[in-house]
Amino acid sequence: MEPKRITRSYRGYPEEAQTSYAADAKKMAKDGWYPISERYEPGTWGCLAFTVALLLCFILVGILIFFYLIIVKPRGTLYVTYEARAVSHISVDTQPGRGEKICPDCAETIKEKAKVCRYCGYRFN
């Protein structure tokens, strides 16, 4: 049987999209969904924006709009694919290996010096 998978998208600049994704990943993990892939696609201006700017180039404002479209990049989209897995509970007697610690939010084993959990984005103080 094929595992259940869903794909979610988070719009914004890379930092904004990553922040939204990290917050949502925690909620999804509680329901048994774990990210298996992610990719970020930068945004693009549509053909209409450049056509309007080109037509307005006869006026000084059009030239300014055209430069704005070239310099400022629009927001992109981060696509994350989640896969459903059985929710497993960590037992009390399970100890992390040497140089490792357990994330209190998602219970995954990570490196002891990690400041952010790579699985759920939990920040350690």
Same domain, 102 and 81: no
Same domain, 63 and 116: no
Same domain, 28 and 78: yes
Domain assignment present for residue 91? The answer is no
Token couple for 15: 């930092």
**Ranges of the chain whose pLDDT falls below 70:** 1-3, 86-96
Domain assignment present for residue 116? The answer is yes
CA pseudo-torsion sign 97, 102, 106, 16: negative
Distances (CA, A) of 1 to 4, 83, 84, 96: 9, 13, 13, 32
Same domain, 60 and 113: no
User: What is the pLDDT at residue 1?
Assistant: 58
Domain assignment present for residue 90? The answer is no
User: What is the pLDDT at residue 4?
Assistant: 86
User: What is the pLDDT at residue 82?
Assistant: 82
Angle at 103 between CA 8 and CA 29, to 5 degrees: 25
User: What is the pLDDT at residue 55?
Assistant: 76
Number of domains in the chain: 2
User: What is the pLDDT at residue 93?
Assistant: 47
| Cα–Cα distance measured from residue 8 to residue 89, given in angstroms and rounded to the nearest whole number | 25
Is 80 within 8 Å of 34 (Cβ atoms)? no
User: What is the pLDDT at residue 94?
Assistant: 56
